[in-house]
Structure 1
Amino acid sequence: MKNTVFTLGVAVFWAFAATCPAHPLPDVAVRAHFEQNGDWTLQVEIDPRSFQPDPNVAPYLTNADLGVTPAEQQEKLKTQAREYAQKVVEVVLDPAVEVKPELTWEFTAAENAPLKLPEDPVMLTGTWRTKLPAGSKGYSIKALPAGTLSVLYHNTALGKKVERYQILFPGETSYVLDLQTFTPRTKAPLPITEESVKDPGAASGSLEGMCEMCGTCSTGGYMLPTLIAVAGLVMVVAWLRRKPKA
């Protein structure tokens, strides 16, 4: 009996461990900076784990790893980043004009910070500094259907961060940033609250940052299956303890 309980206890542990990712799933961050004189800086940040078959369990490329990575391999990573960005993100200007960002790729820490410590995770950050085409009135991006990861949409205008940002899933389009007022053209969805969960109609369109497939926030998708697995196994243990010996 003790062996049975011990075995089930180990099963509970592994059921919990199996639902926990080794690292947070990477995102593709797209940041735009706008100035009053029309200067426009576009940055795309990609975690090299994104190139792996399963980014969820792939190890980070650290600053220490980068230090021993041959120059040829580093250039290969930059080429992968360039091709990957073209596949997963499209920049849209209003009025419609073709935009082909010429990004210059560098190894950085998150949010374009300099790499310092050996254990710092390495990101690939592509930067394009240019001028907005004359007459541009709106800016947005598309997370292309070919992508498999979420895209983060951040904007800064006249030195200040635009408060609203978005998490886009493949196939989704961001809100349009008005380039005259540097404010979103549309209102942000209502926040998810306890009342809106009870009444889904009250939060219609408020899935910004929410997983459309499973109905959970992108950071909490592992909690429910974990609780179900643990609860089920604990019930089995309790039943075996009460079961009379033959």
Structure 2
Amino acid sequence: MQNMESTKKKLPMVWIAAGIMVVLLFCVGLTFALAVLPLQKATNAYNMAVSEYNVHADAYNALIGTTSVANLDGFPSSADKLSTVDANLSAVVHSFFNGNSAKKTQTDIQTIRELSGYLEENGRILKQITAPSGEWVMNRLRNVDDVLEIQAVTPDNDPNGLLNKENGGYTACIYFTATGINVEGTSPVSKGSDGGGAIEVYGTLGDAEARCQYLHGFDNTILYTGSYAIVGTMVIRVSYIYTEAEQYEMTDRIVKEFTRLETT
């Protein structure tokens, strides 16, 4: 009789343990369905976003090798690439228990997509300021405040003799006159960079850098003609008649116009 009573007492304990096990399995299954699987799906989406970002990073870094961003705000000297993460189930479970979630991963994905868009837009800007046509430069200069007359040089009136010259010549050079500057001459070209400034367009970054190095030789001498700055593969020159602050302001206005993307 005592054994039967002991067995009867043990039976409820077995059922209780079985019930607890069922509840635990249910909770595990629910967690798996509502948290782990969504996290794995989000992890796969994260890796896709990283791959897309890296494509833009490669394209941006390739452009950086051929054009200058030294005088542009918000343009990194290079774009670091991102690494994908392990999307295997065991790795996702481990990530989950370390505090990760699908919601957090989606936030990371949105950040990466924003960075991709930023790089893609910057890449488009770099393309438009790398060896642009003289016509493009003239069209942009017309939108710059205080720029008055604009004139492109030709082989017959090029004061520097550098138009289409091999080994360092520019592909286009556009002179402009500006508000508040009066110098001798009947046209922007005849007034030279003294009359306002000039935009020299080079086919390569190396040629633009060599030109700036040449102009640097006249700094702090009586032959100083004004400020100069590389943007893309262009050298922006501004008249010495302006004060240093005014030279900076004019250069800044030109740069902003050159780096403006057309809305579509």
TM-score by structure 1 length? 0.21
TM-score by structure 2 length? 0.20
Between 1 and 2, higher relative CO (CA 8 Å, sep ≥ 6) is seen in: 1
Higher relative helix content: 2
Structure exhibiting the larger radius of gyration computed from Cα positions: 2
